[in-house]
Structure 1
Amino acid sequence: MLHHFPNIERAVINDVNEDLIDAYRTVQEEPDALIDALQQLEREYYGNPEEEFRQMHYQMVRELFNGRSASRANHTAYLIFLNRTCYNGLYRVNKDNQFNVPFGKHKNPRICNEANIRLVHEALQKVEIRLGDFDALSDLVTPNAFFYFDPPYKPISSTASFNAYSQNGFGDGDQERLKAFCDKLHKTGSRWMLSNSDPKNENPENHFFDELYGDFHIERVKARRVINSRGSNRGEISELLIRNYD
């Protein structure tokens, strides 16, 4: 990846979700083992066309994933399998860090995309992958650095917490901590961009982000939303892009 951008000296991926970071590291270091494991899951899933069989197979893989006792390659294969076969490709865990998204009833999900895995493997070869909170990135703060933040989105309705990204959650206090970190970056000359939900979709009087990031550039962009309990609420909605540069 970096050879396409010769002026980039270093790239770092960081996230608090251990399963996601393990997945990045598996693709970076063990693509062959991951592909083998996914191909086996794919053969098993398509071994019987009956929906009841596939749902039972899904539930078995979900239990294996939540047991967290498999090798890293197999655990990542379980994660990708669940993403491809669960309801709307949703990632959600409870407070015990147990993945609990129901079966998705997809007709022909592509479980093993070998070509894509190999391309991502190549792209990650010069990327440092970290596990942790954004507060642990202070060593990367320089005038020449660019940060992109994609935090767990602020819920915009009473049912939006369906999308719990991690067992500890990410509430308004964490959104404010992130804003303080962005202030720190701005003072040192680093550039940053942040994406988040737009609370005004549900309540035009909700000025949470407009007030929190009032000193920076806030742009509302259209994004397609496919996950909603009501079909009438699916489609294009507004999301936020916030940055500290023109």
Structure 2
Amino acid sequence: MAVTLDLNSDLGEGFGTWRLGDDFGLLALVTSANVACGFHAGDPTIMRRVCERAAANGVAVGAHVSYRDLAGFGRRSMDVEPGQLADEVTYQLAALDGIARTAGTRVSYVKPHGALYNRIVHDGAQAGAVVAAVRAYDPGLPLLGLPGSAVLAQAAAAGLTAVAEAFADRAYLPDGRLAPRGTPGAVITDPAEVVRRCVALATTGEVTGVDGDTVRVEARSLCVHGDTPGAVELAGRIREALVSAGVTLAPFA
């Protein structure tokens, strides 16, 4: 069976004079770019530059929305009231969409970042806030998230396109959730193993979990983290291996 997969990466995560990752190098390899909107990283100039290069390369632009947590890089879970969270998601989405349009493209999907991404796997109230913000802004925007998550269930129920995502370098628990960062083996650092797992995910929908058993992970998009050391080389190897395995790489949005 022919397989079509999106290859995405978190980009634009510098701030001011501080840079993180090789945005332009990754934009030559991925099919979708999750662009930081200023709340965990990114600033207007970085957002513009990434959007301009994405437009030139035919890469889809997604709003990588976050808790308002610049100091913690959006990786600290926060108890934000749902109405306020919805407003903050709308604010980020509108900011990036405005810049994207002046750069010759537009926001074509939404992907929550870090702690927010993980919180809305199980927190129905915060998941509902994210869904409400996306639906109010543009109900045609797909929402990218973890398979089986509360946010994707609510997105589908609200009439949004829910897109399931897998991760190239993250370990999985038996129930399909990501192993929490900071736990042993949560991030896979061996490039050959990462490439092998990506091909397995794309062609079989399965991956070996932290307990050694097979975990079912069916996804339309695969994330390569832009802040991983050697991310450009790794993304290149993943892309080459997927194409060699007969996988067609294309944006989902």
Q: TM-score range by the shorter chain?
A: under 0.3
Larger Rg: 1
TM-score w.r.t. length of structure 2: 0.27
Larger helix share, 1 or 2: 1
TM-score w.r.t. length of structure 1: 0.28
Q: Could you say which structure has the greater relative contact order, defined with CA pairs below 8 angstroms and 6 or more residues apart?
A: 2
